[in-house]
Amino acid sequence: MILLWLIVILLVGGLLAWIAGLRRERLARWVSLLTLGADLVLVIAYWIGHPGPISSSGRWLTEVNWVWIPRFGIRLHLGWDGLSLMMVALSLLLGFLSVLGSWTQIKDRVGFFHFNILWIIAGIVGVFLALDLFLFYFFWEMMLIPMYFLIGIWGHRDRIYASFKFFIFTQASGLFMLVSILALYFIQGRSSGLYSFDYKHLINASLSPGQSFLLTMGFLAAFLVKLPAFPLHTWLPSAHTEAPTAGSVILAGLMLKTGAYGILRFVLPFFPETSHQLAPAAMILGVIGILYGAKLAFAQNDLKRLVAYTSISHMGFVLLGAFSGNALALQGVVLQMICHGVSTGALFILVGIIDERIQTRDIGQMGGLWARAPRMGAAGMLFAMASLGLPGLGNFIAEFLILLGTFKVDRLMAVLGSLGLVASTVYALWMVQRVFHGEPKSPRQMADLNPREILVLASLGLIIIWLGVYPQPVLDAARPSVAGMIARPGGAGPAPPLVQDREYPKQAVEPEAEVPRQRER
């Protein structure tokens, strides 16, 4: 029941925040914060109270499976494994900190603003928990409308254009996924005699090569747009730039992860042979995204737009590692999803704080901020170093695992992808130099971080340091999920490597052996 309560609490909390905002704006903020805090406490209590390690508890930890619309085989089927559990925890944590970090930034229609925040997160949590594909699509579309309002109402100068572009890209690509879900439903129903949208039923579908290819492309259309992958990324910079701070944090830290999650949860296990065929092209797109995003980040003068382009670069690592078919790289992908959410979410919160102080995001009008706000400068340096992949911080471990796993199956792609680490060093240090060092461009005094902002950024900083120093709990929790991503549907044994591995055939055939484990000695 905890899975259902996580969603219900968010939905009800959103309605209460809207109603409370009609009376007192401050009350709406507190309702939103307490709602997210209550859900986060439930998840943490479950994780701490779970008997034994997550990795030794089987694939699915908890499930809710009720009949919803029996005539069409639609069930209220929710469940989480280690991957889902970590992504839900990340969603609630970033939601909580985004509300706390933008506490004073929204002054108009505060209740409706927090209603949209909570309903977006409810949709995202539903995506991570849904084990019925109709329910998955329902939550996939549910999170788009509140985000459209969030950008269109509380965004910046070009908010209408950005909100329309975001909605058209994500809605249109989602329709391709809907067609693929329906086609899979009917194909499997005719062959088995049971019409159901259940994940565990559809994963065993027997498809011809042509059917598998078309269905894979339908799913990928939605997931690659949301990721976003080059060249389907054009909606992202404007959406990030125009969204309010909380919207940017949720968009970069959570909504992009739903695209990566869809690839890991559906594309790889549902269509292993087609994924194998498309892997070279997907990995090339991943490398292009890494280098292209880094290059454009360096070319930006708008600080928020710069951070937006870094998301394209970092999510390129996710696409590269996901289609490598290597267990080590896939564990790096899971860690990258978490670390990118934490570090990029922190950078967007920091950009919002700076914009609130000096009323501009133009890097050319900044400079010397460290001397006037040393705590802000230290936070900016920490998260910029995380973005460039400094050893000792979580992003380094994630990208190192992705490149190491990819190197075992395609050395050229790994070498080209590693150039992204060099490029990220250039734009991160360039950003720190121009924003925090040098001579101040404005004589205006600027307040340093207040206790509330310190709490938000310190929490994210401690997480990114912990993931860089001791990532093993995350890797252990992800192990059963990774095994499911590279296993053949129906329990037919491990799938072939998605990219032919000539140097390491043993590891490719037995991917579980590559998963890092806690040393016993």
Q: What is the mean pLDDT of residues 309-330?
A: 92
- At residue 487, the pLDDT reads 46
pLDDT at 486 over 80: no
Contact present, 195 and 234 (Cβ < 8 Å):
no
259-293: pLDDT as tens digits = 999 999 999 999 999 999 999 999 999 999 999 99
| Residue 113 confidence (pLDDT) | 95
DSSP-assigned beta bridge partners for residue 76 = 66
- The tokens for 491 are 């329990």
Are 235 and 166 contacting, i.e. CB atoms less than 8 angstroms apart? yes
The 3-state secondary structure of 248-274, one letter per residue: HHHHHHHHHHHHHHHHHHHHHHHCHHH
Q: Which of 316, 265, 279, 324 is nearest to 136 (CA)?
A: 265
Torsion of CA 239, 240, 241, 243, to 10 degrees: 80
Cα–Cα separations (whole angstroms), residue 334 to 231, 375, 389, 423: 23, 31, 16, 22
Most confident of 32-41, 56-65, 427-436: 32-41
pLDDT over 90 for what percent of the chain?
63
DSSP states of 312-333 as a string? HHHHHHHHHHHTT--HHHHHHH
For the CA atoms of 388, 391, 396, 402, the dihedral, rounded to the nearest 10 degrees, stands at 130
Q: What is the mean pLDDT of residues 63-73?
A: 91
Which has more confidence, 54 or 100?
100
Give the model confidence (pLDDT) of 428-472 as tens digits.
Answer: 998 899 888 877 776 667 888 899 999 999 999 999 999 999 999
Q: What sign does the CA torsion over 44, 48, 51, 57 have? A: positive
* Residues pairing with 77 in the sheet: 65
Q: Which of 257, 245, 256, 263 is nearest to 117 (CA)?
A: 245
Choose the weakest-confidence range: 85-99, 254-268, 355-369. 355-369
What is the dihedral sign for C-alpha 114, 167, 248, 301? negative
Contact 322, 330 (CB under 8 A): yes
